[in-house]
């Protein structure tokens, strides 16, 4: 595709529910990142995939958060037992290639936990 695509663009859920957020990176980009942006803050790193494997998941806040990328392209961020504090914009970025660190971002999924 032309850019990084994230779906849904908005997600409203109730406390305690399970949600899945999808990221479709730029075609051919092997590295994929998830970030979380709270209101008035810069994006904060969650997890990074190189191919199918999670190369760095040190930013995941707790074990309610999990992400997969089974075929090395589309990635899904999964949040169990959502809490109101999980409300934020979840951003996905894909990396142009080795030798640079240029990351291209999607428009994000705005998650609201009521």
**Interface with other proteins (CB under 8 A):** 4, 6, 31, 33, 35, 40-45, 48, 56, 59, 91, 93, 98, 100-108, 110
Q: How close are the terminal C-alpha atoms of the chain, in Å?
A: 33
Task: Quote the CA–CA distance of 6 and 25 in Å, as a whole number.
Answer: 8
Q: Tell me how far apart the 2 most distant CA atoms of the chain are, in Å.
A: 42
Instruction: Give residue for tokens 């190189």.
Output: 50
């Amino acid at each position: 595709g032309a850019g990084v695509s994230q779906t849904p663009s908005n997600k409203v859920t109730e406390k305690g529910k399970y949600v899945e957020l999808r990221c479709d990176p730029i075609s051919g980009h092997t590295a994929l990142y998830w970030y979380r942006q709270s209101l008035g803050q810069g994006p904060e790193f969650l997890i990074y995939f190189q191919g199918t494997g999670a190369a760095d998941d040190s930013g995941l806040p707790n074990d309610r958060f999990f992400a997969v990328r089974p075929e090395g392209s589309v990635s899904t961020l999964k949040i169990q037992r959502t809490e109101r504090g999980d409300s934020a914009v979840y951003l996905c970025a894909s990396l142009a290639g080795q030798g640079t660190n240029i990351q291209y971002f999607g428009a994000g999924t705005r998650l609201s936990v009521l």
